[in-house]
Amino acid sequence: MTRQAPLIAELVNLATTRWRGGASIQPLTDEELATAFAAQLGDRTSAALCAAPDAGRRLAELAGELRQALLAERPADQAAHINALIRRYGAQPYLVEDVGQPFHLHFHGSGGTQVDALGGEFATALALIVDGYGPDRFGTCEAHHCEAVYIDLTRNGSRRYCSAACTARAKTAAYRSRRQT
Ligand SMILES: [Zn+2]
């Protein structure tokens, strides 16, 4: 399920982040959001997503719900948000055999559209991350002028930044402020 983590963060960041990597970002229209997020997916899923009715608006909705789950302060609120997403998107486990891959577990939501499918996958992924890593693995980037969310799957839970670029920016800023004092 950990392979979903970067996609979840990317969806939330595309749809809800106003500052990212040190720059302000113009909000995307629903259609732009669908196109930008589809570009992160494999060919088949991407085509299905773009063909889904109302994909952009529903993706924006899903992103908002995921953000609330990621940034809930108390573990009980976090769990309640994630459980609500699992119910809402009708997530259900089933084994799938893709071309060239052995049977593996999917958690597609059962609402029928590609957004429902993603909602089910993402909700379950968050639940499994909390179950496997604990409740403290979601955060927002600590670099200057960045509010992107991240999901921390490091062994010791040491992640503080959304990307390698923000890690480098923060290191440079810390070095400069040390030199000035
Ligand atoms: Zn960042």
pLDDT for position 177: 87
Q: From the CA of 36, how far away is ligand 1's center (Å)? A: 19
Separation between Cα atoms, residue 160 and residue 173, nearest integer Å:
15
Q: How many CB atoms lie within 10 A of CB 88?
A: 17
pLDDT for position 32: 94
pLDDT for position 1: 59
What the block records as the tokens of 59 is: 């993706």
pLDDT for position 179: 85
Q: From the CA of 21, how far away is ligand 1's center (Å)? A: 5
Please provide residue 24's backbone torsions phi and psi, each rounded to the nearest 5 degrees.
-80, 150
Nearest to 106, CA basis, from 117, 116, 114: 117
CA 166 to chain CA mean position, Å: 17
Residues with CB under 5 A from ligand 1 (ion): 141, 143, 146, 148, 162, 166
Over residues 27-71, the pLDDT tens digits come to 899 999 999 999 999 888 888 888 888 999 999 999 999 999 999
Ranges of beta strands (E only) in 9-148 are 19-20, 23-24, 94-96, 104-106, 138-140
**Spans in the chain with pLDDT lower than 70:** 1, 181
Q: From the CA of 148, how far away is ligand 1's center (Å)? A: 5
Q: Helix 114-133 crosses helix 5-16 at what angle (to 10 degrees)?
A: 120
Whether residue 138 contacts residue 151, with contact meaning beta carbons closer than 8 Å, is answered with: yes
Q: From the CA of 96, how far away is ligand 1's center (Å)? A: 35
- CATH numbers and ranges of domains, the chain: 2-180 (1.10.3300.10)
